[in-house]
Structure 1
């Protein structure tokens, strides 16, 4: 069974995107994203893919789009999240990363087993937000703090684990 991991950089106000872009530049966040996702499967929405602007080398990428005519070179266009997961899991990867945007995170939320979050100490204006990480649902398993941001890992709490 594959792990399904949500990966995102999230501002203190929950914003993850503004005007089809990330409202900050943190090189260490991109380095971590690359290190974690390299060799794995990525699922993302078309707007997220368009904001990146190119296929990410070393990763099999499924892009969810309602536009049946859309074609991205080097990626697999999928009409739904369910079909993207179905096709991704046929590859039998150990890990599938869900990489945004907001609509895709919300739709995939109940399937996620882990989260890899960069908490950004900024509160930009933006229209795309990450779902709230409920401590009753998620357990923090790791934290690395830096000036202006933190890398935080979570795993989904099992139904048998009490939330204190």
Structure 2
């Protein structure tokens, strides 16, 4: 099973500001939702609760405290390993990690891939994508859009714990 993070990242690493995305890119939102539509998604509780309709086929919500969710497709996990076990129990071959910053950081050593929307410019924000060593990764695809670029990265063989 593969774990892949998906994030929109400004030139200065910002991914959010006060639980909001500091830019408006409808085309990015569309490609993002299409990309993850048929797969389970993994969120922190606050990120999950930001969505009126979370993307993905099932939702794994990491939280320190046990919670019940109104959506029957939402599952609580208290660790990276438990989240991965839930995804595997759903029969999925991949899951997309969708944030927030703490969740991205927790999963970074376990990721097989990253899909990063590169948003040009520097934005004010209180939330950043975690730093990562580009030597451990290989850029396998770049998709150009009018106002952003989507990069697909794969972890190099023998790196990380994934």
Q: Is the shorter-chain TM-score for this pair beyond 0.5, marking a shared fold?
A: yes
TM (norm. structure 2) is: 0.88
Deviation track 1:73-95 (CA, whole Å, cap 9, x = no partner) reads 34122233322211111222121
Q: Are the aligned partners of 1:55 and 1:73 in contact in 2 as well (CA < 8 Å)? A: no
CA distance in 2, matches of 1:20, 1:71: 20
2:29 is the counterpart of 1:22: no
Q: Name whichever of 138-147 and 149-158 sits farther off.
A: 138-147
Gaps of 5+ in 2: none
SS at match of 1:136: helix
Q: Deviations over 1:57-116 (max 9, x none)?
A: x51111112233453434122233322211111222121111111100110111111111
Q: Secondary structure at 2:106's aligned position in 1? A: helix
Q: Specify whether residues 55 and 147 from structure 1 end up closer, same or farther in structure 2 by C-alpha distance, changes over 3 A only.
A: closer
Report the Cα distance in structure 2 between the residues aligned to 1:72 and 1:12, rounded to whole angstroms: 37
Bigger shift: residues 27-36 or 95-104? 27-36
TM-score, normalising length: structure 1: 0.87
Partners of 1:27 and 1:69 in 2: CA distance = 32
Q: How big is the shift at 1:147?
A: 3.2
What is the number of residues matched between the two proteins? 158
The CA RMSD measured in Å over matched residues stands at 1.8
Q: Who is 2:131 aligned against?
A: 132
The runs of 5 or more residues in structure 1 that have no matched partner are: none
